[in-house]
Amino acid sequence: QLQLVESGGGLVQPGGSLRLSCAAAGFSLGYYAIGWFRQAPGKEREGVSCISSSSGSTYYGDSVKGRFTISRDNAKKTVYLQMNSLKPEDSAVYYCASEYFGGCPRSIPVAPFDYWGQGTQVTVSS
């Protein structure tokens, strides 16, 4: 069974940091692009970041550029999202998802991603 599991969410103060992990099972992670998405109540799911399978190229949504960093460790079958300088508007459920063909659309849309984790809650509040 193919599975993605997110972890690392929690409650942090504005300006704080969290590192999210996306662990994969059932496939070789290196064949897939992995994206991070988030969804807050009443809002559409938003693409946050993506890392490609071949070149390792990274992409970020405009709202997180300069604050978030995506990385991958194919041997550990894990993708990470380091989140720094967190803001209250970053509060959301964060999901990781895989794209079978290994590429990252520059706009990080939801549609090309086929397998999704269950999400991890990130709350940024004073």
What are the tens digits of pLDDT across the range 58-70?
999 999 999 999 9
Tokens of 35: 């994206």
* Closest residue by Cα to residue 39 from 47, 27, 30: 47
Q: Lowest mean pLDDT: which of 26-30, 81-85, 87-91, 94-98? A: 26-30
Could you tell me which residues are beta bridge partners of residue 123?
11
Mean of pLDDT values over 100-109: 87
Q: Is the pLDDT of residue 1 over 60?
A: no
**At a CB cut-off of 8 Å and minimum separation 6, what does 77 contact?**
23, 24, 25, 28, 29
More confident site: 104 or 67? 67
